[in-house]
Structure 1
Amino acid sequence: MKALLFAAGKGTRLKPFTDHHPKALAKVNGVPLLERNIKYLKGFGITDFVINIHHFGSQISDFLKTNNNFNCNIEFSDEASELLETGGGLIFAKRFLDHGEDFLIMNADILTKINITDFVAYHKNINDFATLAVSDRDSSRKLLFNDDMVLRGWMNVQTGEQRLAKFNKAFKPYAFSGVHCINPEIFNKIKRTGKFSIMEEYLDLMNTEKIHGFLHESILVDVGRPESVIEAEKHFK
């Protein structure tokens, strides 16, 4: 299985580090996020990676070259001309991923201990084109699921704004964990082009397709702010 790591973002919340570096190279206990996530996924047998780059992308490629790609096969989806966000970035990387096999997507600035083997097995068992890892934790935005863990909506907790596939019948709100398992059939379903968020596409597709959530209780830290680095260092040594 291949994994697409989203590492192209400007990481504005992680300033001043990202004024001169890509956020994927921010360190937690002295180890860059990108290195941690490559080794984390290697622990589940994943050694083929596609990494999208934009902001200080050459620093990422140089870092991996210096470390012999951590003995993995790594391809770069270089968005040098335009940062395409998660949905556009996925479409731009299609040539690396559309080979008939499921693949994993993970945000490079997420640190977690989700059991990827269990996650992939769940995805393959339900045989959908997209499965999203979610957990019951604080977040300003929540995805809404029915009793069968099928995506039915989205909610902004702070403003009360909602997008629903149908009337909210006590849907369960969970926070997205930044990890997806995808069947390449998704490339035939996405309608948007250019720069867009993959979540916007999921929220459209939930009206016609079944997108499942994989509920986990694992630790997860979004290392997007300087204070979250401190939080991550408590859990990831």
Structure 2
Amino acid sequence: MKALIFAAGKGTRLQPFTNSHPKALAEVNGIPLLERNIKYLQSYGINDFVINIHHFGEQIVDFLKLKNNFGANIEISDERNELLETGGGLIFAKEFLSSEEDFLIMNADILTDLNISDFVKSHLESQNFVTLAVSDRKSSRKLFFDDQMILKGWKNVGTGETRMASTNVGFKELAFSGIHCINSAIFNKIKRTGKFSIMEEYLDMMMIERIVGYEHHANLIDVGRPESITEAEKIFL
């Protein structure tokens, strides 16, 4: 299975490092996030990658060349002219992904020991349109799932804003882990263009498509702040 790694973000929460570097090259115990995630996915047999770039994108290109792409097949989705967020970034990378029946997406700033093989197997066997890795952890945004783990809504914890597919009847609230498996039919169903979050599309599509949560209990850290690097270094050696 091919994997798209989102590595284009500006990483403003990781300043001052990101004032002169891409977030994906921030190091945890001396190893850049991007390198960790490429090798992590390779450990589960994934060796075909698309990596999107924007903020100091040339540093990512140079880093991959220096490392001989870690022996992987890597294609670059170059967003240096305009940062398109996750939804726009996915559409921009369509040429690299549309021939795949299903593909994996992962944020470059996520570190986890989730068993990707089990995650992908669940997605394929259940024939889900989208499978979202989710867990019970603190987050500013939560997703709602029914007792069959079908996506039913979203909440901004800070503002109280919600988007619901149906009345909340004791739905489970879980946090998105930044890892998703997607059927390529999504390219024919996305309505938005330009710069947008893929979660906006998921919240529209949950009314008619099978978007399922895959709950896990793996270690997972969003390495978005300097203090989260310190936290990650205790787990990811």
TM-score by length of 1: 0.99
Aligned mates of 1:98, 1:194 — CA distance in 2: 18
Contiguous gaps of at least 5 residues in structure 2: none
**Equivalent in the alignment of 1:145:** 145
Quote how far apart the aligned CAs of 1:156 are.
1.6
Aligned counterpart, 2:121? 121
Distance 1:196 1:188 in 2: 16
Match of 1:92 in 2: 92
TM-aligned CA distance change 1:70 to 1:52, over 3 Å: same
- Matched ranges for 1:1-237 at <5 A: 1-237=1-237
Residues 1:72 and 1:100: Cα distance change in structure 2 (over 3 Å): closer
Moved segments of 4+, more than 4 Å: none
Cα deviations across residues 126-161 of structure 1 (Å, max 9, x unaligned)?
Answer: 102210000001111100000000000001222322
C-alpha distance in 2 between matches for 1:158 and 1:194: 27
- Alignment identity in percent? 71
Secondary structure of 1:51's partner?
Answer: strand
In 1, the alpha carbon distance for the partners of 2:100 and 2:138 equals 36
Output the CA distance in 2 between the equivalents of 1:189 and 1:55.
28
The residue type equivalent to 1:50 in the other structure is: V
- The answer to which of 170-179 and 97-106 deviates more is 97-106
Q: Does the Cα contact within 8 Å between 2:147 and 2:171 map onto a contact in 1? A: yes
State the distance in 1 between where 2:130 and 2:94 align.
Answer: 15
SS in 2 for 1:36: helix
More deviation, 97-106/67-76: 97-106
Q: TM-score, normalised by structure 2?
A: 0.99
Q: How many residues align?
A: 237
Unaligned residue ranges in structure 1 (runs of 5+): none
State the shift of 1:101 in Å.
2.0
